[in-house]
A and B are shown apart, each in its own frame.
Chain A
Amino acid sequence: MKEKLQKIAAEAVNLLSSSQDLEEIEKIRVRFLGRKGELTQVLRGMGALDEKDRPRIGQLANEIRARIEEELTGRTALVKEKTIRSRLLEEALDISLPGTAPAHGRIHPITRVRRQMEDIFLGLGFEIAEGPEIELDYYNFEALNFPKDHPARDMQDTFFIGEEFLLRTHTSPVQVRTMERTAPALPVKIISPGKVYRRDDDATHSPMFQQVEGLLIDTRITFGDLKGILDLFVKEMFGTATLTRFRASFFPFTEPSAEVDISCVMCGGCGCRVCSQTGWLEILGCGSVHPRVLEMSGYNPEEVTGFAFGMGVERVAMLKYGIDDIRLFYDNDLRFLNQF
């Protein structure tokens, strides 16, 4: 009996040590420890043994069972580890192959820059006002203090629609319409982004372009406030190191009027080709709202004051992205659009 048990043990251990996979190990377990397994069979035959031999043999059988189980566990762990190691090895990817890109389109650079500009002013409490692109002469010019037959009208070469209408040359008509709608309530605090049209077509002028204009009217708005707000905007848009410079200028609908230059974004103000060696880049026009404009829109200029400003989105985008031809924006070359 003893020999039989020891033979079983030796065989089991031997088989296990050469086993290669889990299936084989399971077979070995069943063969020796299963319900009808060899060790089980031997134990069942214990009844035929001597009373005095039983404990000894019993103990031996238990020891052998434990041994085989231990071998089983050890071998299983070993085979498992081997299997997983070889699987991992087999499954290795060429991680340098390109990834699978999900479909993705781009938002037009003008939209991107316009949104950024809008967000800055939204943060300052401005609302976004909109109006028609085809306008009445009254809203585009007259209510903005451009008299008929005045040279100031030459500043904005206009597309006319029949006798009565025109393509707005700026988004200022939206300001007038908003003031008319709001007066006499205060404040008026809007920006008016949108498409505008001028009869021009070259590397720096497009017959259609986009503007963001702003208007703030309340009881205590000063020219200094205009400077403060625009300085804030410029630093937000172009970086905190950007300087602003205000130059006297003329627009019929503001007085005092100013052009605002920023320190050149290319050279930081040292002078380069982009800023024609001046260190400055013209970026926007602005001023205190002209009293006649306030009056025509229903406000008393002795009681309220305000400022207005306006800038071309393309101009800002060109500076931000280093684009040198405005026509690229409306050409819609996919190689261009895909860069933003």
Chain B
Amino acid sequence: MRVSLNWLKDFVDITLSPLELAEKLTLAGLAVEGIESPGEDITKVVTGQILKIERHPNADRLLICEISFGENVPLKIVTGAPNVQEGQIVPVALEGAALAGGLVIKRAKLRGVESRGMLCSGQELGLNAKSLPPEQAHGVMILPADTPPGLDIKPLLGLDDTILELELTPNRGDCLSMLGAAREVAAILKLPLKYIPPEVEESLPPCADRVKVDIEEPQLCRRYVARLMTGVKVGPSPLWMQKRLRAVGVRPISNVVDVTNYVMMEFGQPLHVFDYDTLLEGRIVVRRAAEKEILVSLDGVNRELTPDMLIIADAKNPVAIAGVMGGLETEVTDRTANVLLESAYFNPASIRRTSKMLGLRSDASQRFEGGIDLAGCRRSADRAVQLLQQISGVQVLEGAVDNYPSPAEPKMICLRPERTNFLLGTEITGEEIADILTRLQFDVKDSGSELIVGVPSWRGDVSMETDLIEEAARLHGYNQIPGTLPNARTTLGKRTPNQLFRENVKDILASCGLNEAITYSFFSPETADFYRLPPENALRRTVNMQNPLSEEQSVMRTWITPGLVEALKRNYNRQIRSGAVFELGSVFVPASRLPEEKTMLAAAAMGESAGGWNRKVMPLDYYFLKGVLETLFQQVGLTGFFFEAEYSNPSFHPGRTAKVFAGEQELGVLGELHPEVLERLDLPIRVVAFELDLDRVAKLSAAVRKYQPLPRFPSMERDIAVLAPRDVPAESIREAIGRSGGHTLTSVSLFDVYEGGQIQAGYRSLAFSLKFQADDRTLTDEEVAKCMDSVSAELDRKYGARLRTE
């Protein structure tokens, strides 16, 4: 909310600088987000009257105006503005004047004619274009005809004002007005609040004779005040009112509308005006809309209403959506003579629902939502009538119709100073607490050990002792409360085994050369199509967002890989064509109640590892990620894992993909993305990925490790090359060697694969290194030779594989 410092000074004598005031308000909970002084730069701009307008002899678009400043000699000023007329009062920048943005005005010749200054637009004076009619924002600003010439423009247009931009928290709806802000300022600065109740001159018979107000929904409308005025002449409002409205960001429209806005900004009470003569039987009925009832609202839109909405009706038809928007038919226009003014209290939640439903949020609805001062409805109505009387000379009917079915009782709360200090960790005296609350206009009675506190009608946010304790704390000053360390039980702060496991996994993968990525938890519903998932595929069953930011971010991810691949693609398009990333995070599976959230570990890689002057590059391919997985499993102590060829995963290359198992449990998938997936993703590079169910991996990993005694006797190593048909998996041969090599064979590792050359077609040569060792003796050559023979026999028997000798 914008607060005009000049307006605020109607209520409090502020002598602090705007910066000091802003700091104090901010610390007390009314955050000042900005300080604006729109007229700061402006000097030497005065009002002038246009005496005569002549055409410029050398330019079609320019006019020469003779301007009078009262007593001084008139000056000739050239202008290009089309909206000037003789007799108008306009702002004139004199020679040497400075305008908004630092523009300095000098004497100048415009196409041969000397100009002794400049006629100013609203924008050139630093006024917000939105708070002015368009022709005045960009053309010359036209001032009311009764403005005397020769006056300094700054006080006249509020250019001597300072605006504080308040960012109010939702509990402080009571501060959404100058009076509301002034109450806080007065309390904080320990200054008196100046407030004079409005006085109205009533010259006509009682309002109640001509207006009837029925509230059918007292829950939704707790109070409705109506006042009636006649002899209304709709016209512009005076400059002083316009400048204040502009200062707080409201565009002046006409005296009647401006008055309602002025009072809303001053007291926080939204008002509405009806053309009384358009109201059937002069009646106001506050009720729910009937099903399918229609109202043409002020903006000309046909609104279909529902019984959820509270409306104002006359004897028959809806005339306004309560607190949200008025109707077109009862609008106050140039022809209006009699005005009915509404000052009411509508239920905050109801207004909030209705304005949300209709997509109509306004200054008024915002204030009703925050809860306005129930006790202030009448005062605000009187203030509006008083102002209208002042600026347009309306006659006022006596009194008001004030329908207030069950007046609110003042809330009383007990406050224990002892508890206040216990909660805050302070030693504030009861007197200080009482003083703070009194400054905030609470009604405080001391009953010995506790304070009996009456809550002001506008403080809807205060309903219990804690609320008062907060008031005491924030005006005492949070920064006066000493910081301490808790006097609490000692506890062991530690990560759970699962938390430790997850962080450990991240560190292991990073140590394998992968970068940790974090991608969004949502993706596009089209992802499933890109990844060739058939209709019944489980990954297609998604949890969907109701109000996503975009279609591309509208479903919760069912797997992580697509997000990582997307990240690699972004990198690829930025010419980073190699890389490996992993992510550990949740995926979401629809369930009968809350969706199931599974922790997955995924990785994706493309391109090759960085080579160097002394080493070759290594492709970041299937074998790279497989190596990463093997390292991970070894590091976390997961044994018995194996990879099984997977030909049918629709997203992966059928010849380059494996399912990952540990014992009976399937852990996930590892493979190269299907070429068609890459094509659909428009990614012209091979990408490999894995995705594992990390909770399963965690369960199967050994939390406890056991030491194996170191061997005491030397080992013997033998290398063999096995010539085997190409389609026999290397792992099968390795296993066959392991099984047939006897119990002294402690490890079998493959170290070379070779085909082509002298190797016959359809075969390849696999070279293994075998290590024999016994824990009770040194093996003899003969023993090992025997084992090698049985290996050879088994390989021949099982695969027709022969040992290859050089």
Q: Which residues of A contact B (CB under 8 A)?
A: 97-98, 100-101, 103-108, 110-111, 115, 118, 121-128, 130, 132-136, 148-152, 154-155, 159-162, 165, 167, 186-187, 189, 195, 197, 199, 201, 207-208, 216, 218, 220-225, 227-229, 231-232, 245-250, 255-259, 288, 290-291, 305, 329-335, 337-338
Contacts and interface: CB of A to CB of B under 8 A. Distances in A.
Interface string B481-498: 111111111111111100
Contacts of B556: 134, 161
Contacts of B422: 222, 305
Contacts of A115: 503
Interface stretch (B27-35, B68-76, B78-86, B750-758): B27-35
Nearest to B582: A105
Nearest to B469: A256
A161 B544 contact: yes
Contact of A250 (B170, B543, B595): B170
Contacts of B370: 151
Nearest to B543: A161
Nearest to B516: A108
Contacts of A154: 170
Interface string B233-260: 0000000000000000000000000000
Nearest to A246: B478
Interface in B466-510: 466-467, 469-470, 473-474, 478-479, 481-496, 499, 503, 506-507, 509-510
A106 B516 contact: yes
Given A105-B511, A222-B484, A248 B547 contact: no
Nearest to A165: B594
B612 interface: yes
Contact of B513 (A103, A122, A133, A290): A103
Interface-central residue, A123, A223, A225, by most chain B CB under 10 Å: A223
A132 B466 contact: no
B545 interface: yes
Given A223-B425, A227-B484, A247 B349 contact: no
A48 to B, nearest CB: 54
Nearest to A218: B488
A247 B29 contact: yes
Contacts of A332: 517-519, 567, 570-571, 581
B450 to A, nearest CB: 14
Contacts of B579: 334
9 contacts: A103-B511, A105-B511, A110-B518, A127-B492, A159-B547, A161-B544, A250-B172, A256-B424, A337-B516
A135 B543 CA distance: 12
A124 B493 contact: yes
A228 B483 contact: yes
A111 B513 CA distance: 17
B59 interface: no
A189 B491 contact: yes
Given A107-B507, A148-B349, A160-B546, A338 B515 contact: yes
Contact of A125 (B491, B506, B549): B491
A222 to B, nearest CB: 3
Contacts of A334: 515, 571, 576, 579, 581
A46 B492 CA distance: 93
B512 A103 contact: yes
A291 B571 CA distance: 50
Name the residue among A167, A201, A232 with the largest chain B CB count within 10 angstroms.
A167
Given A231-B483, A332-B519, A106 B488 contact: no
The 6 closest A-B CB pairs, nearest first, are: A224-B425, A103-B513, A248-B29, A222-B425, A250-B169, A248-B474
User: B27, B170, B514, B585 — which one has the most chain A CB atoms within 10 A of its CB?
Assistant: B170
A223 B473 contact: yes
B491 A105 contact: no
Given A111-B516, A256-B470, A160 B547 contact: yes
A106 B581 CA distance: 9
A291 B490 CA distance: 24
A195 B520 CA distance: 10
A330 B520 contact: yes
B400 to A, nearest CB: 29
B689 to A, nearest CB: 15
B493 A207 contact: no
Contacts of A101: 610, 612
A39 to B, nearest CB: 44
A161 B570 contact: no
Given A107-B507, A134-B595, A154-B170, 8 more contacts: A105-B580, A121-B493, A161-B545, A223-B425, A229-B486, A245-B27, A291-B466, A334-B515
